[in-house]
Structure 1
C-alpha cells in the first residue's frame, strides 16, 4: 500500500504511527478524517450556508452603509472573487452596479 505524500510540505517520506500519518520532514501529523474536516472548513459559505465559488453572482441580504450611500438589500453582486487573505474581515470582492468593485463579507450575501 502506498502512503500519501505530506499535505503540508508535499514530501513522500510519510510513515504510519498507529492511526496517524507522520511526516519526518516537517513533523506534520494527520488522519484521513482530519484532512476531510480541514477541507470542509476551508470552503467559503454565504449567509445561508451555500458554497461560494469564483465568478458566482449573489444578492445582498441587508442594507449596507457605505460612506454617505447605502447599498440596499436585494442589490446584485456580480462576478464574485474569493480573496486569498481577508482584508479587515472582508473575504470576497464583487461588482455592484452604481458602486463598482467592492470588498464584502460572505456573511452579507446569498449566492443565486
Structure 2
C-alpha cells in the first residue's frame, strides 16, 4: 500500500489522493506533507454512504445485524434514538428497539431529520 501511517488510529491502510491522504480504517484525512507535530484534528465518522455523522443524528440500519450473545436481530431500516459518537472500534452509541448498543458506522446510514 503506502509508507504513510494514520496519525489517529496508526493504521497503514491509506489512500493517496492529490494533495491529501485518507485513512481507510477511520476516515481521517490529512495533507500529503504530513501532520507537522500538530494535534490531530477532530475525528470524522462517516456512515456507509460517506455522510458525516455528528452527535444527535438519527441513523438507520442498512442490513440485518445479529446481536452477539442474544437471539435478537436488528432489521434493515431500524431507526435509532439520537446517537453519541465515541472513540474505539465501535464509533456509535445509541438505542435501537429499546436496547443500548454500540455500532460500527459502516452498518448505518444517516436519516434526514
Shift of 1:42: 2.7
Q: 1:75 pairs with 70, 75, 78, which one? A: 78
Cα gap change, 1:40/1:80 in structure 2, threshold over 3 Å: closer, same or farther?
same
Provide, for residues 75-99 of structure 1, a one-character-per-residue CA deviation record: whole Å limited to 9, x for no partner: 001211001x21xx2111111124x
Q: What CA distance in whole angstroms lies between the structure 1 residues aligned with 2:33 and 2:44?
A: 17
Q: What CA distance in whole angstroms lies between the structure 2 residues aligned with 1:81 and 1:70?
A: 21
TM-score normalised by length of structure 1: 0.58
State the superposition RMSD in angstroms: 2.9
Greater per-residue helix proportion: 1
Matched, 1:96 2:88: no
Structure 1 residue runs without a partner (length 5+): 1-29
In the alignment, what sits opposite 1:22? Answer: none
Provide, for residues 24-73 of structure 1, a one-character-per-residue CA deviation record: whole Å limited to 9, x for no partner: xxxxxx999748xx977831100000000001001100101012111101
Larger radius of gyration: 1
Q: What CA distance in whole angstroms lies between the structure 1 residues aligned with 2:41 and 2:60?
A: 24
Cα gap change, 1:49/1:41 in structure 2, threshold over 3 Å: closer, same or farther?
farther
Runs of 4+ in 1 over 3 A off after TM superposition: 30-35, 38-41
SS at match of 2:48: coil
SS at match of 2:52: coil
